[in-house]
A and B are shown apart, each in its own frame.
Chain A
Amino acid sequence: DTAVSQTPKYLVTQMGNDKSIKCEQNLGHDTMYWYKQDSKKFLKIMFSYNNKELIINETVPNRFSPKSPDKAHLNLHINSLELGDSAVYFCASSQDNGGNTEAFFGQGTRLTVV
């Protein structure tokens, strides 16, 4: 019974294409995140949503657009893909209880842009 699930697990696409990654959590958490992990393994936050409201929007190109239809789902749409977008993208979720909470991660989506 997967807690945080994201699809697809692998995504290979050509430069210039538009693609989406989907994420769902069944933990009843209030907050969901998108992280990018580059080839050096550095895990960097991109966005966070709390109850469908955008909270954190780090400096990422505006080709990346998150969408949260409800608090259990947070999707990531990427327009005009570039070679530098190749990375592993992780979705995560946590409960909003004032700070003493941990983040749970999905299995990751390995995006390769060719």
Chain B
Amino acid sequence: QKEVEQNSGPLSVPEGAIASLNCTYSDRGSQSFFWYRQYSGKSPELIMSIYSNGDKEDGRFTAQLNKASQYVSLLIRDSQPSDSATYLCAVNTGGYGQNFVFGPGTRLSVLP
């Protein structure tokens, strides 16, 4: 069974600090990896995608992928109170028709 695991949190960081979110996945055939942010009562929105090993930076966000360790992470620099949300790690196992498997999410709270 394909699984994606995350620490459920809550993870609390002070404003301006770096928030570090982690994710592991079980299916070695997984091809692409995503971080979604979900505010309470809203739908998940994509904030980062990463397809190859290494780091990918976009503004204050950096995604890191290590396929050998089956590990994905998200760093949020200069955390803001508006970053407080649940962060969902998702893995696309690819193939015909796609299959996005989500982790349980990590709740992040950025304290002013």
Contacts and interface: CB of A to CB of B under 8 A. Distances in A.
Interface in A25-42: 31, 33, 35, 40-42
Contacts, number: 76
B36 to A, nearest CB: 8
A107 B102 CA distance: 17
Contacts of B22: none
Nearest to A55: B97
Interface of A: 31, 33, 35, 40-45, 48-50, 53, 55-56, 90, 92, 94, 96, 98-108
Given A94-B100, A98-B31, A103-B98, 20 more contacts: A31-B97, A40-B104, A42-B102, A42-B104, A42-B105, A43-B88, A43-B102, A48-B97, A55-B98, A56-B99, A99-B32, A99-B51, A99-B95, A102-B32, A102-B34, A102-B49, A103-B34, A106-B43, A107-B43, A108-B43
